[in-house]
Structure 1
Amino acid sequence: MSQLQNPRKWRYTWETLSHLSTLKLFLFNPDVKPATQCRTLKIDLRFEESLLLVTWEEIQDEGFVGNSLKVPIPKVLIQVDSPRDFKATEDHIEVKLVLVLPVDHPLVANFNSVLNLSDEDSAEVSDSFQPLSIDSDIKHLLSGNEVDFYCKNCSYKLTKTPLRSFVEMPSFDWREVADNWFGTCCCSFGGISEKLVKKYANSYSSVKGISLYDATCVVVSKDDISGYVFPDSLERNEKYDQESGLASEECMAQSGIDPQNNRSEGLCCGTDERDITANGDDEPSCIPPVSILDDEVNGRHGIPHASLCTSLSGLDLSENVVNEDGSSANDHSHCCMEKTSFIRSLEDCMEKTSSENQELTNNFKLPRDQRSVLNGSLGNGFMVRTSNLSKNVEWIEFPCSQCSHIVGAYPSLHYGHAPLDGSVRFFKCYISSNLPAGGVGDVFRKHSLERMFANQLIESANEEISFRTVVRDLKTNSPMLQIVLLNTNAWCCSGYCLETGGAAGPISKTNLQAVVKVLFSDGSNTTEAQSKMLEEWVTKKQAHEVYMLAHQIKELSESLRSAEGRIPFSCSFMPGLTLSSLER
Structure 2
Amino acid sequence: MSSELGTSENPRKWRFTWEAQSHIPTLRLFLFDQGTKPCIQCKNLKVVLNFERSLLLVSWFEEETEISFRVPVPRVLVDIESPISFRAMEDHIEVKLVLLLPVDHHIVSNFNSILNMSEATSQLFSMDSDIKSLSSRGGVHFYCKSCSTNLTKKPLSSFAEMPSINWREVADNWFGACCCSFGGISEKLVARYANSYSCGEESCLLDATSVILCKDDLVGFEFPDRDGDQNYESEPDCTEDDSINEDMQDAGGNHGRCVCPTVKKEKMSDLSGKLNSLHIQKEPFVDIPGYEIIEKEITVPSLVGMVPVSYFSENVASAPGCCADNRIHVLNHDKEVCMPDTSKISKEQKVTKASEVLANKKSFLNGFLGNIFMARSYNLSKDVEWIKFACPQCSSLLGAYPCADGYAPLDGGVRLFKCYISTCLPVCESGDLFRKYTLERMFTSQLLESAKDELSFRTVVRDLRTKSPVLQIVLLNPNSWCCTGYCLGTEDTVDPVANINLFPAIKVLFSDCSYRTESQIRMIEEWVTKNQADEVYMLDHLISELIVSLEAAMDMYPPSYTFLQGLPLSSLPR
Query: 1:527 aligns to what?
Result: 517
Q: CA deviation at 1:169?
A: 1.0
Q: In structure 1, how many angstroms separate the alpha carbons of the residues matched to 2:453 and 2:192? A: 27
The 5 Å alignment of 1:180-191 reads 182-183=175-176, 188-189=181-182, 191=184
Q: CA deviation at 1:416?
A: 4.2
2:309 maps to which residue? none
1:579 counterpart residue number: 569
Q: Which letter does structure 2 place at the counterpart of 1:106?
A: H
Q: 1:449 aligns with which of 424, 439, 442?
A: 439
Give the Cα separation in 1 of the matches to 2:184 and 2:150. 45
Distance in 1 between residues matched to 2:372 and 2:544, nearest whole Å: 16
The equivalent of 2:373 in structure 1 is 382
439 and 30 in structure 1: CA distance in 2 versus 1, 3 angstrom threshold: same
Q: Which amino acid aligns with 2:409?
A: P
> What SS class does the counterpart of residue 90 from structure 2 fall into?
coil
Q: Which amino acid aligns with 2:152?
A: T
Comparing 563-572 with 21-30, which one deviates more in the overlay? 563-572
Specify whether residues 203 and 362 from structure 1 end up closer, same or farther in structure 2 by C-alpha distance, changes over 3 A only. Answer: closer
Match for 1:541 among 512, 531, 549? Answer: 531
Worse-superposed segment, 199-208 or 103-112 = 199-208
Which amino acid is 1:104 matched to? D
Question: Which residue pairs with 2:348 in the alignment?
Answer: 347
- Which one is further off, 370-379 or 522-531? 370-379
Given candidates 506, 509, 512, the residue that maps to 1:516 is: 506
C-alpha separation between the residues in 1 aligned to 2:439 and 2:154?
27
Of 4, 7, 11, which residue of structure 2 is paired with 1:3? 7
Q: SS where residue 347 of structure 1 aligns?
A: coil
**Contact 1:169/1:204 (8 A) holds in 2:** no
Confirm or deny: 8 A CA contact 2:511 2:568 kept in the other structure.
yes
**Corresponding position: 1:33 with 2:37:** yes
Counterparts of 1:104 and 1:190, CA distance in 2 = 54
Q: Is the 8 Å Cα contact of residues 166 and 364 (structure 2) preserved in structure 1?
A: no
Q: 1:465 to 1:9 in 2, by over 3 A?
A: same
SS at match of 1:81: coil
Structure 1 residue corresponding to 2:395, chosen from 369, 393, 404: 404
Partner of 2:203: 210
Give, in angstroms, the shift of residue 378 of structure 1.
Answer: 1.0
Shift in CA distance, 237/350, structure 1 to aligned 2, threshold 3 Å: closer
Residue type of the partner of 2:17?
T
Q: Is the 8 A contact 2:375 2:536 kept in 1?
A: yes
Q: Distance in 1 between the 2:561 and 2:199 partners?
A: 50
Partner of 1:152: 145
- Does 2:387 align with 1:392? no
Contact residue 192 and residue 355 of structure 2 kept, 8 A: no
Structure 2 counterpart of 1:21, from 17, 22, 25: 25
Contact 2:152 / 2:218 at 8 angstroms: preserved in 1? yes
SS at match of 1:439: coil
Contact 2:563–2:569 (CA under 8 A) maintained in structure 1: yes
Q: Deviations over 1:247-296 (max 9, x none)?
A: xxxxxxxxxxxxxxxxxxxxxxxxxxxxxxxxxxxxxxxxxxxxxxxxxx
User: How many percent identity over aligned positions?
Assistant: 58
TM-score normalised per structure 2: 0.75
> How far apart, CA to CA, are the structure 2 residues paired with 1:369 and 1:111?
54
User: Deviations 1:55-76 (Å, cap 9, x if unpaired)?
Assistant: 11112xxxx1111121111111
Tell me if 1:126 matches 2:127: no
Q: Relative to structure 2, which stretch is displaced further, 498-507 or 154-163? A: 498-507
- Aligned residue identity for 1:128: A
Question: Higher helix share goes to which structure?
Answer: 1
Task: Map Cα deviations across residues 412-454 of structure 1 (whole Å, 9 max, x no partner).
Answer: 11x5472111110010000111112111111111100000001
2:87 matched to 1:87? yes
Amino acid of the structure 1 residue aligned with 2:187: E
Matching residue within 129, 135, 138 for 2:131: 138
Unaligned runs of 5+ in 2: 233-342
Distance 1:238 1:577 in 2: 53
Q: What is the rounded CA distance, in whole Å, between the counterparts of 1:531 and 1:163 in structure 2?
A: 46
Partner residue of 1:484 out of 474, 478, 481: 474
1:48 paired to 2:52:
yes
Q: Is the 8 A contact 2:371 2:379 kept in 1?
A: no
Give the secondary structure class of the aligned counterpart of 2:350.
helix
Q: 1:554 to 1:365 in 2, by over 3 A?
A: closer
Structure 2 CA distance for aligned equivalents of residues 346 and 522 of structure 1: 58
RMSD of aligned Cα (Å): 2.9
1:534 & 1:372 partners in 2: Cα distance?
A: 30
Rounded to whole Å, the distance in 2 between the matches of 1:167 and 1:190 is: 32
Residue by residue over 1:466-504, the C-alpha shift from the partner in whole angstroms, topping out at 9 and shown as x without a partner, is: 111000000111110000011111111111111223675
Q: 1:497 to 1:189 in 2, by over 3 A?
A: farther
Find the residue that maps to 1:16 and give its secondary structure: strand
> 2-side partners of 1:540 and 1:174: how far apart?
33
User: Size of the alignment, in residue pairs?
Assistant: 461
Matches within 5 A, 1:152-301: 152-171=145-164, 175-176=168-169, 178-179=171-172, 182-183=175-176, 188-189=181-182, 191=184, 193-194=186-187, 197=190, 201=194, 204-232=197-225, 234-235=226-227
1:159–1:226 CA contact under 8 A, matched in 2: yes
Q: Does 1:569 align with 2:570?
A: no
Please list the CA deviations of residues 165-224 of structure 1 after superposition, one character each: whole Å capped at 9, or x if unmatched: 111112365633542663399x91454643663575478521001111011000000010
Deviation at 1:2, TM superposition (A): 3.3
**Counterpart amino acid of residue 395 in structure 2:** S
Paired residues of 1:164 and 1:209 also in contact (CA < 8 A): yes
2:71 counterpart residue number: 71
1:572 maps to a residue whose letter is T
Whole-angstrom distance in 2 between the partners of 1:92 and 1:369: 60
Larger Rg: 1
Q: CA deviation at 1:98?
A: 1.3
The CA deviation at 1:575 is 3.8
